Structure 1
Amino acid sequence: MLAAAVAMGVAVASAGPGVSAADASAPPAFIHQALPDATLWGQGQMRFFGLRIYDARLWAGPQFEAANFGAYPLALELTYHRAFTGAAIAQRSIEEIERQGDLAPAQAQRWQRALAAVLPDVQPGERLTGLYQPGLGMRLWRGQQALGAIDDAELARRFFGIWLSPRTSEPGLRSALLARKPGAGP
């Protein structure tokens, strides 16, 4: 089951050790540039048998609707508390993506290779950030360092669905990430 926790740690880029209280409600500068009206929608923690795996934060604009998350640009940050290889994260991501619907074996292999090409190994304290761009794909960062982009709209939508789809393996974390109600303040 730790592999399930690894998969949930699949999605995002990195910014370095912990988030201070001063910057807890402001998105990283590169996210603010891409999503100027983004605010913190929610945050939660992935645990496995009581062990902290990572902290997650969701950034989205005021128009964002959880029921149709794939139609809106958003950013997801994961701050890791455990070390994982990028290859393990990519493999587990594909397993989680398959929970959302059928995926042909050849497509799963292509997507796993694409993810493995941009997902880094992570250490405790590192933060990965993923920017989802509807109809285009996704961009990934480790801290302020751009890691790369995947220009595959369907892979990107299903990748972020690991956390945001109603078919996620972690509904409690999904609820925490989507905690903000439309019209509420940041």
Structure 2
Amino acid sequence: MRRRLLIALTTLPWAGPLWASHGGPGRLLPSARRLGQARLRFFGLSVYDASLWVEPGFDVADFGRHRFALELHYLRTLYGKAIAERSLKEMRGVGSVSEAQAERWLSAMVKLFPDVKDGDHITGLHVPGAGARFFLNDQPLGEVPDPEFAQRFFGIWLSAATSEPQMRAQLIGAAEGPR
């Protein structure tokens, strides 16, 4: 089944060499550099390490105009449904989300986000004007072809309204990274 999904994904018109050649942010964005990194802790427990990969000219104040990748390296087991639900809660904190959008986006994320364990990594690729593409351990998971979804989703980490301002500062290179 997974193989059929990969074959189907690589035949989509937007897929091109991106899906076939993914091997981390360097292959997704050949001219990118890691801008910053941070560790998310919840009640003292390490949840994941995040890295933000950007191309030259990236402007965090207008991140929706730029192609970039956010890579999350998980440090514990989490259920995909819980990741999706928490993501939606955080998305609502950075901008308005209608009930119709919330239902659509939650459904898409529940389908996309798998259960993860220590050592897994999910990479989200922001594609301006198109939406977001996701990868698990360098294998394609799928996409949400909605620019507004992408703006809210990546806003979890990059919006000035984030619930984790210290993490944002570290990701955009304005503060020291994970310890």
Residues 98-117 of structure 1: matches in 2 within 5 Å?
Answer: 98-117=92-111
- Please name the residue that 2:129 is paired with: 135
Residues 49-68 of structure 1: matches in 2 within 5 Å?
Answer: 49-68=43-62
Unaligned runs of 5+ in 2: 1-21
Q: Is the 8 A contact 1:53 1:81 kept in 2?
A: yes
Residues 1-186 of structure 1: matches in 2 within 5 Å?
Answer: 29-179=23-173
Query: For the residues of structure 2 that align with 1:149 and 1:60, how far apart are their CA atoms?
Result: 19
State the structure with bigger RCO (CA 8 A, min sep 6), 1 or 2.
1
Structure 1: which 4+ aligned runs deviate by more than 2 Å?
Answer: 28-34
Q: Is the 8 A contact 2:95 2:152 kept in 1?
A: no
Query: For the residues of structure 1 that align with 2:162 and 2:87, how far apart are their CA atoms?
Result: 11
The CA RMSD measured in Å over matched residues stands at: 1.6
Query: For the residues of structure 2 that align with 1:80 and 1:98, how far apart are their CA atoms?
Result: 23
Q: Considering fraction of residues, name the structure with more helix.
A: 2
Query: For the residues of structure 2 that align with 1:41 and 1:31, how far apart are their CA atoms?
Result: 12
Tell me by how many angstroms 1:34 deviates.
Answer: 3.1
Aligned length: 154
Query: For the residues of structure 1 that align with 2:90 and 2:171, how far apart are their CA atoms?
Result: 17
Q: Is the 8 A contact 1:75 1:129 kept in 2?
A: yes
Tell me by how many angstroms 1:107 deviates.
Answer: 1.5
Unaligned runs of 5+ in 1: 1-27, 182-186
In structure 1, what residue type is equivalent to 2:121? R
Query: For the residues of structure 1 that align with 2:96 and 2:138, how far apart are their CA atoms?
Result: 35
Query: For the residues of structure 2 that align with 1:93 and 1:180, how far apart are their CA atoms?
Result: 24
Q: Is the 8 A contact 2:124 2:132 kept in 1?
A: yes
- Please name the residue that 2:8 is paired with: none
TM-score (norm 1): 0.78
Q: Is the 8 A contact 2:53 2:70 kept in 1?
A: yes
